[in-house]
Amino acid sequence: MNTPTIIAIAVSLALDAFAVSLVAGATIRPITYRHVFRLAWHFGLFQFMMPIIGWLVGNTMFGYLEALDHWIAFGLLTAIGGKMIRESFQEIQEYTKDITRGWTLIGLSLATSIDALAIGLTLSAIQVRIWYPSVVIGVVALVFSVAGIFLGRKAGKLLGKKFELLGGIILIAIGIKILISHLN
């Protein structure tokens, strides 16, 4: 598999992480470099690890994981998106949730990297070595996450709490997109 193909795959996989990072940048106040590091590191790490896990599982478990991955991603994104929508209606001083911490961060990292697991399974099936593609996928996700946070920060100053509502809707839409694309 050539480098342009791997980069194209990495960019397409990083778009979900980018969208979530936009939301994080718009909703976390004040945003610090610690927030940026945690979110970008986890998204990059999970995007790096999931193809390796998928590759290791290979053809033996392909049918089982393929049947469930879209439901897992849909469930995680819908739950987190729904929570963000609910919290967007709270008063600003009540909202203190930091999505770059705890189980929310783990859930978002898993949800945005489920497709990378499927890529790992695919690379295993076509007998591609996994390390180079995984590193590229992880680095691209990390870079897109950093860019998303800073772009979201600019947009969040303009839109305020409305962006949090929009972010929740976007997360649910991503979950629905993943579900529909796998069911067709």
Domain definitions of the chain by residue range: 3-183
| pLDDT at residue 162 is higher than 80 | no
Whole-angstrom Cα distance, residue 17 to residue 44? Answer: 9
- Is 133:9 a contact under the CB 8 Å cutoff? yes
Reported as a single tens digit per residue, the pLDDT across 44-75 is 999 999 999 988 887 676 656 566 766 766 77
The pair of structure tokens assigned to 62 is 């392909």
What average pLDDT does the structure give for the chain?
81
What pLDDT is stored for residue 59 in this prediction? Answer: 62
Whole-angstrom Cα distance, residue 56 to residue 65? Answer: 13
Peptide linkage before 30 cis (omega within 30 of 0): yes
Label residues 104-122 b or e (16+ Cβ within 10 Å = b). Answer: bbebbbbbbbbbbbbbbbe
Whole-angstrom Cα distance, residue 12 to residue 50? Answer: 15
What pLDDT is stored for residue 51 in this prediction? Answer: 94
What pLDDT is stored for residue 41 in this prediction? Answer: 97
What pLDDT is stored for residue 62 in this prediction? Answer: 60
| pLDDT at residue 96 is higher than 60 | no
What pLDDT is stored for residue 13 in this prediction? Answer: 82
| pLDDT at residue 92 is higher than 60 | no
Q: Which residue has the tokens 């100053």?
A: 157
What pLDDT is stored for residue 50 in this prediction? Answer: 95
Reported as a single tens digit per residue, the pLDDT across 130-150 is 999 999 999 999 999 999 999
Q: How many CB atoms lie within 10 A of CB 1?
A: 12
User: Is pLDDT larger for residue 76 or for residue 114?
Assistant: 114
| pLDDT at residue 153 is higher than 50 | yes
Q: Where do the H-state alpha helices sit in the chain?
A: 3-27, 33-57, 62-88, 102-125, 131-159, 161-183
| pLDDT at residue 39 is higher than 80 | yes
What angle is formed at CA 182 by the lines to CA 60 and CA 81, rounded to 5 degrees? Answer: 115
User: Is pLDDT larger for residue 94 or for residue 5?
Assistant: 5
